[in-house]
Amino acid sequence: MITLKSPREIEAMRQSGAIIAGMHHMLRDLIKPGIDTWEIETKSREYIEGHGGVALQIGFEGFKYATTISVNNEVAHGLPRKGLHLKDGDIVKVDTVVGLNGAVSDSAWSYAVGHVSPEVEKLMAVTKKAMYLGIDQAIIGNRIGDIGNAIQQYTEVEHHYGDVRQYIGHGVGPTMHEDPQVPHYGKPGHGVRLREGMVITIEPMINLGSWEVDTDETEEDGWTVRTSDGSWSAQYEHTLAITKAGPKILTSQDPDFDAKYL
Q: Which residues are annotated as a binding site?
A: 77, 95, 106, 170, 177, 203, 237
Identify the helix (H) or strand (E) that includes residue 247: strand 246-249
CA distance 68 to 75: 10
Cβ distance 182 to 238 under 8 Å?
no
Do 95 and 110 touch, CB atoms closer than 8 A?
A: no
CA of 146: how far to CAs of 7, 31, 150, 163, 212, in Å? 25, 35, 6, 15, 22
Q: Summarize the annotated binding site for substrate as residue ranges.
A: 77, 177
Q: In one letter, which amino acid is 34? A: G
Catalogue the E-assigned strands of 6-102: 54-55, 67-71, 74-76, 91-100
Are the beta carbons of 132 and 242 closer than 8 angstroms?
Answer: no
Binding residues for a divalent metal cation: 95, 106, 170, 203, 237
Backbone angles phi, psi at 35, to 5 degrees: -70, 140
Residues with Cβ < 8 Å from 92, sequence gap 6 or more?
31, 37, 40, 69, 70, 71, 72, 86, 110, 111, 113
| CA angle in degrees (0–180, nearest 5) for 189-190-193 | 85
